[in-house]
Structure 1
Amino acid sequence: MTDLTLPYRRRLWPLLLMPTLLLVAAIGWTGFWFFSAAQVDRIVDAWRAREAAAGRVFDCGDRSVAGYPFRLEVRCANARVELTSQTAGQAASQTPVTAKLGEILVVSQIYDPRLLIAEFKGPATFADRGQPRSMLLNWTAARSSVVGLPGPPQRIALVFDAPALDRISGATQLPLARARHAEMHARQIEGPAPDQPQIETDLKLEGASVQDVHPLLADPFDAHLRLLLSGLKDFRAKPWPERFRDIQAAGGRIDFKEARIQQGEMIATATGSLGLTPAGNVDGELQMVVAGLDKVIPKLGIDKMLEQGVPQSTLDRVAPGVRAGDVANVLGALDRAIPGLGKVVRQNANVGVAAGINALGQEAVLEGRPARAFPLRFIDGAVMLGPLKIAQTKPLF
């Protein structure tokens, strides 16, 4: 009998199933990406409206969305922001400060939209609206990340490499602040009650300096601060003075869990707590431990005050209540605060003041070096080193 078996015919549909599923998934994913991209304008506009109500008006000269297939990249070229009512002295009726930035790139993974990563291209310029630019901020790299949006942020990070802030006067740029590196990390943690969250902040500065604020800040220094902020119950966008007022009303404070500053041979650490008075001034006390205190005494200006005839403005800053032109009264005041200090100051102002301030505290050891431990008090905005007023802070609202 002849074998009439037909050739085996393979089924084709199993071979086409996987490519078909991949094609359907790609079409679905593409639709989802374009839908998400279409929501960017709505989300950004809603965010801009909230910020505008808080006195911060953001705008983009050119906004575009890219990043297909796995990311959303929102690029904002020629970014601009107008700031009003962001400091205690700036009323809503005053001319806003305008800041301009070259470009902002915000990136979000399509599968994790609560995480936003941003990069900033400088320089940024600042000016009163309608006026020439007055300050310029530049950097080699700047980036940030935010976790938790669109609700209250859970974590925030901001990093700058080589930030440089200049004051512009005509065609001249004058250095105002510099740093090799600056970074800030903040996260929301549980407070003593569910409706009382706290903000833990970690701030690091390397090679930082600030001009025209206080002589102590003019030379490069490194700083590391770990702070705990309480009293922040409302995370809605609002001007900073209003937010500081809310914190004060809630009894909020800033706890210094860790603070270390090094400037040359001087090293200082601090712990303590600061709050705000009803007038918006800083109030509280920090326990300082300082090694190399004698290295910064000349920057406090006390020795110059005595040597140069005691100008009344300087005298009001470091020894309130003593009249100018009466150095004997100054030395008498120092003698009353620390017996024998006035006599030593007559002989050597720097050594005398250093000895007097050393007498304010107790002997201590800091990182293997002899040091002094003493309180640094903030009394309604005045910064007091023992009986001496060394600075005055401005109200925050």
Structure 2
Amino acid sequence: MSDLTLAPRRRPLWRLFIMPVLLLVAAAAWSAFWFYSASKVDETADAWRAREARSGRVYDCARRSVAGYPFRLEVRCDGASVSLTSQTAGQTAAQAPITAKLGEILVVAQVYDPKLLIAEFTAPATISEQGDQPSMVVNWRTARSSIVGLPAVPQRISLVFDDPAIDRVSGSMQTPLARAKHIELHGRLVEGTPSDHPVIETALQIADGSVQELHPLLAQPFDADVRAKLSGLRDFSPKPWPQRFREIQAAGGHVEIVQSRIQQGDVVAVAAGSLGLDAQGRLEGELQMTVAGIEKVIPALGIEKMLEEGVPQATLDRVAPGVKTQDVNNLFGALDRAIPGLGKVIKQNANVGVAAGINALGKEAVLEGKPARAFPLRFVDGAVFLGPLKVAQTPPLF
């Protein structure tokens, strides 16, 4: 009997190519998907721009490009600009738009997570009014935003700025208008839907912020942390802001200040309450405030300067009917003639009396271990009252 040698059975060679072929097919499919998604960017952006333009907000790009293959979509907009028409109470559609321009916007989305958009903005930005030369210049070290929920509906939005600075431009001169070390603004949908009475919760944080030209209290660096909830919106459809504010007022909407804390040096203030709009678009409502170090705030209210310049007749009519401005000025003059400098001393020490009056109006409290006073901050017809004292006036919103 002879020995039989069995030859080894050969495996089909085609099996060796299964994995490479599958990888090649997957790569081709992924590439096709990426290029299809990239081709839809222009279409989606143009549709969004058309919707915004109907609301008086015209966005444009001098050059737009798409990159990021294979796992990201990077949309780069060079020469970005936005023109705003009828976005404030005093602006009409017939007026030239307010235009803002900035160098570049880079928007990034992961192909496998298209509901998260991250954007970076390149400084500087310029703001022009009525088609004139730039009236403001905005700079920052870094600026980023993120939006969660697109392309379906926005659920959460965040904006973060490091070292933002706003300067007013007059000819070749630039004057500081606002500064901050860090600013964060977060918003999220907490009730309703974007198309049916949404309610938005917001959080604003400002570190070392200061604003010139608005009020002396804002000129010195301050930190702020504010949480608020906005109700009364009909939907998120694009529309001018005055129209949106009218809808909020008609629906009885309001901003609920859930929690706020502002610190400026040794002065600390916390407040909570609700603010709405009256039929003329002016702020109304009340905040309950607690302030530690209020005696340091009084000089910044400018009451001494008001007395030195003369007491307005409208103020006298409110607090002392029948007394004329000239009578008060004559009284100060008579005091100065009788005892030189006496009238000026009385004016200069007016803030002491005002501080005492505020202490008498509120009640004693303790804030973060410091003696404090608690009292209401009222908004009536856009005017801001600290007790009986009018400390500011806000413009109408529509």
Q: If the length of structure 1 is used for normalisation, what is the TM-score? A: 0.91
Counterparts of 1:12 and 1:226, CA distance in 2: 67
Counterparts of 2:21 and 2:5, CA distance in 1: 36
Partner of residue 337, structure 2: none
Q: Provide, for residues 134-190 of structure 1, a one-character-per-residue CA deviation record: whole Å limited to 9, x for no partner.
A: 100010000001112234411000000000000000110000000000000000012
Partner of residue 339, structure 1: none
Partner of residue 108, structure 1: 109
The 1:318/1:287 distance shift into structure 2, 3 A limit, reads farther
C-alpha contact (below 8 Å) 2:292/2:371 kept by paired residues? yes
The 1:227/1:352 distance shift into structure 2, 3 A limit, reads same
* 2:121 aligned with 1:128: no
For the residue of structure 1 that corresponds to 2:269, the secondary structure is strand
Partner of residue 342, structure 2: none
RMSD across aligned C-alpha pairs, in angstroms?
2.4
Deviation at 1:317, TM superposition (A): 12
Counterparts of 1:48 and 1:26, CA distance in 2: 33
For the residue of structure 2 that corresponds to 1:237, the secondary structure is coil
| 1:169-318 matches, cutoff 5 A | 169-190=170-191, 195-306=196-307, 308-310=308-310, 312=312
Residue identity matched to 1:135:
M
Deviation at 1:98, TM superposition (A): 1.1
Counterparts of 1:173 and 1:313, CA distance in 2: 38
The 1:269/1:42 distance shift into structure 2, 3 A limit, reads same
* 2:371 aligned with 1:379: no
The 1:168/1:317 distance shift into structure 2, 3 A limit, reads farther
Q: Provide, for residues 187-215 of structure 1, a one-character-per-residue CA deviation record: whole Å limited to 9, x for no partner.
A: 001269x9443100000000000000011
C-alpha contact (below 8 Å) 1:312/1:323 kept by paired residues? no
Deviation at 1:315, TM superposition (A): 5.2
| 1:67-78 matches, cutoff 5 A | 67-78=68-79
Counterparts of 2:184 and 2:318, CA distance in 1: 33
The 1:34/1:330 distance shift into structure 2, 3 A limit, reads farther
Residue identity matched to 2:293:
G
Counterparts of 2:279 and 2:372, CA distance in 1: 36
| 1:360-371 matches, cutoff 5 A | 360-371=361-372
Which stretches in structure 1 are left out of the alignment for 5+ residues?
Answer: 332-343
Deviation at 1:238, TM superposition (A): 0.8
C-alpha contact (below 8 Å) 1:226/1:258 kept by paired residues? yes
Partner of residue 20, structure 2: 19
For the residue of structure 2 that corresponds to 1:15, the secondary structure is helix
Deviation at 1:371, TM superposition (A): 0.3
Partner of residue 81, structure 1: 82
Partner of residue 336, structure 1: none
Q: If the length of structure 2 is used for normalisation, what is the TM-score? A: 0.91
Partner of residue 350, structure 1: 351
C-alpha contact (below 8 Å) 1:139/1:161 kept by paired residues? yes
Residue identity matched to 1:220:
P
For the residue of structure 2 that corresponds to 1:134, the secondary structure is strand
Partner of residue 118, structure 2: 117
Counterparts of 2:367 and 2:147, CA distance in 1: 36
Which stretches in structure 2 are left out of the alignment for 5+ residues?
Answer: 333-344
C-alpha contact (below 8 Å) 2:60/2:80 kept by paired residues? yes
The 1:199/1:208 distance shift into structure 2, 3 A limit, reads same
Q: Provide, for residues 191-246 of structure 1, a one-character-per-residue CA deviation record: whole Å limited to 9, x for no partner.
A: 69x94431000000000000000111000000000001001121101111111111
Q: Provide, for residues 317-350 of structure 1, a one-character-per-residue CA deviation record: whole Å limited to 9, x for no partner.
A: 997977433438999xxxxxxxxxxxx9668222
Deviation at 1:304, TM superposition (A): 2.2
Residue identity matched to 1:165:
I
Counterparts of 2:87 and 2:325, CA distance in 1: 37
Q: Provide, for residues 297-330 of structure 1, a one-character-per-residue CA deviation record: whole Å limited to 9, x for no partner.
A: 1110112222x14253995899797743343899
